Amino acid sequence: MIREKHDGALDDRTSVRLWLRLLTCTTVIEKRLKRRFADQYGITLPRFDVMAALDRHPEGMTMGQLSQALLVSSGNVTGVVQALLREGYVSMAASPTDGRASIARLTEAGRDCFTGLAESHHEWIEAMLAGVPREERVAMYDLLGVLKTSLAADTGEEQP
């Protein structure tokens, strides 16, 4: 059993407890994915994430677009892209509209590699969530959509 902070008990701090439960689940899934990618493919989760973003954008993405899509700094993305470039999974080309920017794209080898990674990723996630009935997964997905909307509406400014 996965232990949660504050033992997962609900009280008058339901919002904090919910956040901690989300954090616990996310952390466990992320750790398992990192370990499996490293053990079975010798690849890091950030490399998988960059490849996934580029797979969704076959026209390519700038470092800025990648960092925005992955919610990480441009410096972090640049290092990951450089590693994928050295491995032959990514190509770089000058942007036709901005001489200062480069466009990263998956190469054919990168697409082939990503296909295998994505299949394993899907299988691993399915296995981790197998104990949750499909109807409950759909309900959680819908409820997390409500949370996502709430987060988007929060300006982050202090309330008087």
Mean pLDDT (the chain, rounded): 90
Domain count across the chain: 1
Domain assignment present for residue 63? The answer is: yes
Range of the domain at 94: 15-151
Percent of the chain scoring above 90 in pLDDT: 72
Question: What pLDDT was estimated at residue 6?
Answer: 55
Question: What pLDDT was estimated at residue 98?
Answer: 78
Domain assignment present for residue 30? The answer is: yes
Domain assignment present for residue 109? The answer is: yes
Q: What is the mean pLDDT of residues 24-53?
A: 96
pTM: 0.82
Domain assignment present for residue 4? The answer is: no
Residue 126 scores a pLDDT above 60: yes
Helix (H, G, I), strand (E, B) or coil at 102: strand
Question: What pLDDT was estimated at residue 88?
Answer: 96
Q: What is the mean pLDDT of residues 61-78?
A: 89
Among 1-15, 123-137, 144-158, which is the least confidently predicted range?
1-15
Q: Is the dihedral of CA 74, 145, 12, 21 positive or negative?
A: negative
pLDDT category of residue 99 using cuts at 50, 70 and 90: confident
In whole angstroms, what is the distance from residue 146 CA to residue 1 CA? 28
Domain assignment present for residue 158? The answer is: no
Domain assignment present for residue 47? The answer is: yes
Dihedrals phi, psi of 117, to nearest 5 degrees: -60, -45
pLDDT category of residue 159 using cuts at 50, 70 and 90: low
Domain assignment present for residue 9? The answer is: no
Residue 158 scores a pLDDT above 70: no
CB 97 within 8 A of CB 59: no
Domain assignment present for residue 10? The answer is: no
Q: Residue 35 belongs to a domain with what CATH number?
A: 1.10.10.10
Question: What pLDDT was estimated at residue 8?
Answer: 54
